[in-house]
Amino acid sequence: MDYLAGLNPSQRAAVEQTEGPVMIVAGAGSGKTRVITYRVAHLVRNGVDPFHILVLTFTNKAAKEMRQRITGVVGDEAKNIWMGTFHSVFAKILRVEAEHIGYPRNFTIYDTDDSKSLIRSILKEMQLDDKLYNASFVYNRISSAKNNLISAQEYNSNEQIQADDFSNGRGQLGQIYLAYTQRCYKAGAMDFDDLLFKTNVLFREYPDVLHKYQHKFKYLMVDEYQDTNFSQYLIVRKLAAINENICVVGDDAQSIYAFRGANIQNILNFEKDYPDLKVFKLEQNYRSTQNIVNAANSIIANNKNQLKKHVFSENETGEKIKVHRAFSDNEEGKIVAESIAQERALHGGAYRDFAILYRTNAQSRAMEEALRKINIPYKIYGGTSFYQRKEIKDLIAYFRLTFNPNDEEALKRVINYPRRGIGDTTLDRIFVAADQRQATLWEVISNAATYLDGRSAGPVGVFATMIQGFQVVAKNHTAYDAAMHIAQHAGILKDLYADKSVEGLSRYENIQELLNGIKEFSEREDIEDRGLDVFMQDVALLTNDDNDKDPNADTVSLMTIHSSKGLEFPNVFIVGLEENLFPSQLSLNSRSDLEEERRLFYVAVTRAEKKLVLSYATSRYRWGTLNNCEPSRFLDELNPAYLELDFKPRPVAESAESFEDERSAWGERDVFTKPKPKTMPKTRTLLPKAHTPTPGFVPSDTSNLQVGMEVEHERFGFGKVIQVEGSKNDVKATIFFKELGQKQLLLKFAKLRIVG
């Protein structure tokens, strides 16, 4: 039982409680993965058949890490545990049971691009305005319906839903959903949401199938339970109904995916589902310094809807959290870049030890520019996935078509790539012929001489014969040999090799990299079936989080806070802490939305191990307009005992008379309405109030600006000119501002009012 020796008492108790319903509330950095893996290992060590254990995760990366750790304790028996993402596990079940619900076992899994492409085709056929019925909007609407287990038929028969759609001017959404469902079915395809939706249908309509899996999976474990949606919740509840040996692990304080359909109530109300539930709280944070943990606690304490716990750290006290104020997003980027350079100069360390987190992807621009200017290497985490690149999707479409020739989206993608004389006109004829004869596209294509005229039939027939040849090769060869044959004979390798541009070379190398990956897969010894169809299943089920950056690359990581969940870095910068940006303006309409934004901030703060830096800008361009910004309310919620302001402070007087004058030091809001802990200092230093221009402020003509003149800047306040240099359009003025110190401004852009 050596593997239990390194656990703290709370962790050990959670591992050893193997029977009945269990909830493990795991605070940030509390060793959650260790507890899950040791609990599974403990089950196996105590005689539970690994084939009877199901572990559900949200990323393949998490499942892989857990399996490796379990293997270290129980050996090769770990291979027999059913472990993977919700989508991968239930796709595996659907491959076996799909015929019950009318799907072939080799059904295609559509990714988001495939789904949106199909929706665009439907919109075109229905002659609907693609601006009103934007493909992304329609896709999200259908996705939301499926996650709430609303079928296309139910959607169209629900009077409230129909009334809402018509009142919003989108009365055809239900018909689009119905057409989309029918086309996917005809193509033998499921989208990502279908993998859970169809599993629910399968379990509901075929009790014998549900019964089989209820007895197969005698022990269930669900990681990140706070991120489950209604569809996932229902599957888990059904599977656990007989044995009730279910263990869910998660942290309500890190529930940040409501926009994907995650329902925090699943974890908050878990005890109502299982009254004899045993709850274990993992509250010791092993990741961060005491200052960071205490600051994070002061943030999340403001949420009303939560499971109470006290997260603590026994690590070093650590540095206080620095707060920077910048006057623009560009200056904020400069501050962050210079801070990284300075930290490395003073203390060494690698670039990979630094992460910059932001609320929206658009914020990366200013950070990228600042990092490039001083030659700091960086990588944007969560950028274009390898498998989303055009050339990769093209070759994979050939693979998909080989195993499922009814796959409409794959067919449209490659029937004329590389060019083989099958243009849009011929494709339209194929669609018309299929529609008139109630046949599939493949039936028309594989019998081109029967359905099409002579001129169209020739190249279409050649294409069909090529795909049929691929089917024979794929059936009788390894994944790599089949993939290489398809890449060569489809003409993709030749087409890309002929493009000698830098981009063309890169695309060719990407195809080589894909083939290298398939070669690696073909030589794996831990799986029995190494066919190309099995490789394709793995690729189709990759999550965004699995497209990991190279862990050995020495680059600063830039990412949204949502992308950072599950990661940790010695040094973290959280930028853009401004009202209406973070928290997002869209989150200010309800308490539940605001609390989710606060949980997002909590997640960001708890990514930091040693050093945390926060920053905000007092002005930021949005849609081409410069807007004044005020600091985020989340900055005020941080206990100032753990902060260090990196700019000129404004002391807050203690007397009642001065209270009203100083209450707006962080903006116009009253930030003193809640009682402060007794341990807080009697005085605080707050962020200086942004300058308010003099009423009627009008910039002066500065063509004759002289040293010694007193001026007012609309944002920087009042100052004195101490130097003027340059000529014509490049005249620069150095001005000493009372509140900010020295600034150098280009006069053709600066808005200055000469006051004396």
The single residue of 111, 191, 224, 545 carrying the catalytic annotation is 224
The single residue of 17, 33, 175, 388 carrying the catalytic annotation is 33
- Stated as kind and residue range, the H or E segment containing 325 is strand 321-326
Q: Taking Cα atoms as reference points, which of 314, 307, 190 lies closest to residue 255?
A: 307
Is there a catalytic annotation at residue 224? Answer: yes
- Stated as kind and residue range, the H or E segment containing 713 is strand 710-713
The single residue of 223, 332, 579, 630 carrying the catalytic annotation is 223
Residue 131 has φ and ψ, to the nearest 5°, of: -85, -40
**Tokens, residue 534:** 């099995």
Q: Is 121 helix (H, G, I), strand (E, B) or coil?
A: helix
- Please state whether the peptide bond connecting residue 418 to the residue before it is cis, i.e. omega within 30 degrees of 0: yes
Q: Taking Cα atoms as reference points, which of 658, 720, 704, 703 lies closest to residue 684?
A: 658
What DSSP string runs through 458-525? HHHHHHHHHHHHHHHHHHHS-HHHHHHHHHHHTTHHHHHHH--SHHHHHHHHHHHHHHHHHHHHHT-S
- Stated as kind and residue range, the H or E segment containing 73 is helix 60-74
CA distance 243 to 217: 9
Going by DSSP bridges, is the β-strand pair 354-358/378-380 parallel, antiparallel, or unpaired? unpaired
The answer to whether the beta carbons of residues 261 and 268 sit under 8 Å apart is: no
- Stated as kind and residue range, the H or E segment containing 298 is helix 290-300
The answer to whether the beta carbons of residues 226 and 565 sit under 8 Å apart is: no
What CA–CA distances, in Å, run from 212 to 52, 203, 239? 12, 10, 10
The answer to whether the beta carbons of residues 261 and 147 sit under 8 Å apart is: yes
The single residue of 11, 32, 332, 402 carrying the catalytic annotation is 32
The answer to whether the beta carbons of residues 290 and 313 sit under 8 Å apart is: yes
Residue 317 has φ and ψ, to the nearest 5°, of: -60, -45
Is there a catalytic annotation at residue 495? Answer: no
Neighbours of 619 (CB within 10 A): 17
Is there a catalytic annotation at residue 607? Answer: yes
Is there a catalytic annotation at residue 223? Answer: yes
The answer to whether the beta carbons of residues 609 and 560 sit under 8 Å apart is: no
Tell me, rounded to whole angstroms, the distance of Cα 216 from its chain centroid: 32
Is there a catalytic annotation at residue 554? Answer: no
Provide the CB-side half-sphere exposure for 70 (13 A, CA).
28
CA distance 118 to 214: 36
What CA–CA distances, in Å, run from 74 to 6, 218, 510? 17, 19, 38
Burial of 586 (0-12, 13-18, 19+ CB in 10 A): exposed
The single residue of 599, 607, 633, 684 carrying the catalytic annotation is 607
**Tokens, residue 496:** 């890309």
Point out the residues that are catalytic. 32-33, 223-224, 254, 607
